[in-house]
Chain A
Amino acid sequence: MQAMVMVGTRKGAFLLLSDDRRSWETRGILLPGWEIMHMAYDGRDGTLYAAGFSWPLGAAVARSKDLGETWEYSSKGLAYEDGDKVTKVWHVEPGRRPGHLYAGVEQAGLFESNDGGVTFSEVTGLRQVPTRSLWQPGNGGLCLHSICVDPDNAQRMWVAISAAGTYRTDDGGETWKPLNKGVQGDFLPEGQEVGHCVHKLLYHPGQKLLFQQNHQGVYRSVDLGETWERLDGNGLPSSFGFPAAIHSRDPQTYYVVPLKADMTRVTDGGMAVWRTRDGGQSWHALREGLPAPAHLVSLREGMGVDGANPLGIYVGTTTGQVFASANEGESWSIAADFLPNILSVSATTLP
């Protein structure tokens, strides 16, 4: 088994490869000149996808069939008919079959490709929701950054938009329902159901569990998003953070990187990944091997897990470090350093 960590930065992409998850080979810069917001690997057909944009050359999805040796770019169909511009691709998510791909973009919207990222078409129902008038850009822009596909229901998926909140479709994208009951938003009028600032939304299909790091809190939902249970009052030092991760096999184990809120927004004192083993009833800091003091930032796509056993976890920072743990977070080491500003970290294993 080989672990592969995909690192998107403001100056291009890197691949970190390791046979033992202790020593790492760094490949890059790949896609030079592009800001890579997120990367994903579809193991079903061996395609590597990168979501990105270039200031002069626009937004596009790049794809590689040879682990980054060569790339093809496309933005065919990544456009709105009403004249709104697609300025960035924030997230790429392999879909329901090989060659099926979702892309979340700014201005917020959802696109899909049925030909492996060669052409795209808008999932138009999302931007037709009556609550769209309540969508507002967060500091990162009005972006659709999280896409969760239900592998057990071909008609169901979730997306998260900043700042709008979580939406779910149960009819293949024709209609979408906002799902933010129980989510706090002090910056919103009381009771407003849309306008929430989800930072990262994840889904664990085995337990049908949704987990999110929000601008204001950490939450999970065990009823497909109908209601949310707040989890950050149980020991987390801050309700604020960007990235999130769910353990691949244990749906009671989640990871977050709290940042000192609300204005400073860096790790408080030292770098730490916080873990719960009991579904958010208690949280514990994982610090072994992580620097202190350290005032670091990890962004919304900044944490990934590789699915191996024991689970490998990887966290990237805006100051160019990738921290790696091969033992579920118990201890950490630096897999790469002095990279450009890291926008995303995702991981997988290769045969």
Chain B
Amino acid sequence: MIEVRIPTLLQQMYGAPPAIAVDAATPLAAIAALDQRWSGMGDRILEPNGALRPYLLLFVDGDYATLSTPLHAGAQMRIVPSIAGGEHGSDIAVDRSGHMDGYRVSFAKTMQA
């Protein structure tokens, strides 16, 4: 089992708790488990083509992760929405290189408030 930390907005939308334990070998499988529990939640996390939505980040045990990152038993997976504010419009980009230390996440540019 792993622990998935659910962002506040999704908690509000689906009446979900801050965290849930699921049996999943990858973040993609964990998201599928969330969608099975709360129908439609997967569509909020993934784009219709199956990619992670561009303003969401995944972390496993504090490190940046992808949808296919292997999950070990007891891992903690976080779904982190981008922080709002800053430049509107062009070249929105997220610096995915940094380690997530606690909740510190750095963004090359941020999105519209």
Smallest Cβ-Cβ distance to B83: which chain A residue? A56
Docked pose: A54 CA to B55 CA in angstroms:
10
Instruction: Please report which residues of chain B, range 74-94, place their CB below 8 angstroms from some CB of chain A when the two chains form the complex.
Output: 81-82, 84
B105 lies within 8 A of chain A by Cβ: no
For A269, list chain B residues within 8 Å (CB).
none
Partner among B40, B53, B84, B111 whose Cβ is within 8 Å of the Cβ of A74: B40
* Residue A55 lies at the interface, judged by CB distance under 8 Å to chain B: yes
Q: Quick check: is A58 within 8 A (CB to CB) of the other chain?
A: yes
A78 contacts B48, CB within 8 Å?
yes
Closest residue to B56 on the A side, CB-wise? A56
- A249: Cβ under 8 A from any B Cβ: no
A250 close to chain B: CB less than 8 A: no
Q: Roughly how many angstroms separate A54 CA and B45 CA in the complex, as a whole number?
A: 11
Which chain B positions have C-beta within 8 A of A83?
A: 49
- In the bound complex, do residue A56 and residue B12 qualify as a contact, i.e. CB atoms below 8 Å apart? no
Whether the pair B9, A72 counts as a contact (CB closer than 8 A) is: no
Closest to B113 in A: A10
Contact of B43 among A32, A55, A71, A76 (CB under 8 A): A76
B112 touches A58 (CB 8 A): no
**B48 and A60 contacting across the interface, CB-CB below 8 Å:** no
A57 to B6, CA, bound (A): 13
Q: CB-CB < 8 A to A75: which residues of B?
A: 40, 43-44, 48
| Contact, CB under 8 Å: B112 / A73 | no
Query: Are the C-beta atoms of B53 and A73 separated by less than 8 Å?
Result: no
Q: Contact between A55 and B40 (Cβ–Cβ < 8 Å)?
A: no
Q: Does B13 contact A (CB under 8 A)?
A: yes
Query: Smallest CB-CB separation from A81: which chain B residue?
Result: B48
Q: Which residues of B contact A32 (CB under 8 A)?
A: 9, 12
Q: Is B47 an interface residue (CB 8 A)?
A: yes
A-chain residues with CB within 8 Å of residue B45 when the two chains form the complex: 57
B48 x A79 contact (CB < 8 A): yes
Chain A 49-61, CB within 8 Å of chain B: the 1/0 string? 0000011111010
**Closest chain B CB from A65 CB (angstroms):** 16
Min CB distance A35 to B, Å, is: 10
Interface SS, B side: mixed
For window 68-90 of A, CB contacts with B under 8 Å fall at 71-76, 78-79, 83, 85-86
Q: Report chain B residues within 8 Å CB of A60.
A: 43-44
| Cβ–Cβ < 8 Å partners of A78 in chain B | 48
Write out the residue numbers on chain A whose beta carbons fall within 8 Å of the beta carbon of B82: 55-56
Hey, what's the 0/1 contact readout for A34-70 against B, CB within 8 Å counting as 1?
0000000000000000000011111010000000000
- Is residue B25 contacting chain A, with contact meaning CB distance below 8 A? no
Report yes or no: A57 in contact with B44, Cβ–Cβ below 8 A. yes
A279 interface residue per 8 A CB criterion: no
Residue A173, interface by CB 8 Å: no
Is B10 interfacial (CB 8 A cutoff)?
A: yes
Contact indicator A33/B9 (Cβ below 8 Å): yes
A58: nearest chain-B partner, CB-CB: B53
Complex Cα spacing A156 to B10, Å = 39
Given A55-B84, A56-B53, A56-B81 in contact, is the A73-B47 Cβ separation under 8 Å? no
Q: Are A57 and B48 also in contact (CB < 8 A) when A33-B9, A72-B40, A74-B40 are?
A: no
Q: In whole angstroms, how far apart are the Cα atoms of A33 and B56 in the complex?
A: 15
Q: Does the CB pair A57–B53 fall under 8 Å?
A: yes
Centre residue among A33, A58, A78 by max chain B CB count within 10 A: A58
Report B1-16 residues with CB < 8 Å from chain A CB: 7, 9-10, 12-13
A82 to chain B, nearest CB (A): 11
Known: A33-B12, A56-B82. 17 other contacts (CB 8 A): A32-B9, A54-B9, A55-B112, A56-B55, A56-B56, A56-B81, A57-B10, A57-B44, A57-B53, A57-B81, A60-B43, A60-B44, A71-B13, A74-B40, A74-B43, A76-B40, A76-B43
- The contact sample of 22 A-B pairs, CB cut-off 8 A, is A32-B9, A33-B9, A54-B44, A55-B55, A55-B81, A56-B7, A56-B53, A56-B55, A57-B9, A57-B56, A58-B43, A58-B44, A60-B44, A71-B13, A72-B40, A73-B13, A73-B44, A74-B40, A75-B40, A75-B44, A76-B43, A85-B47
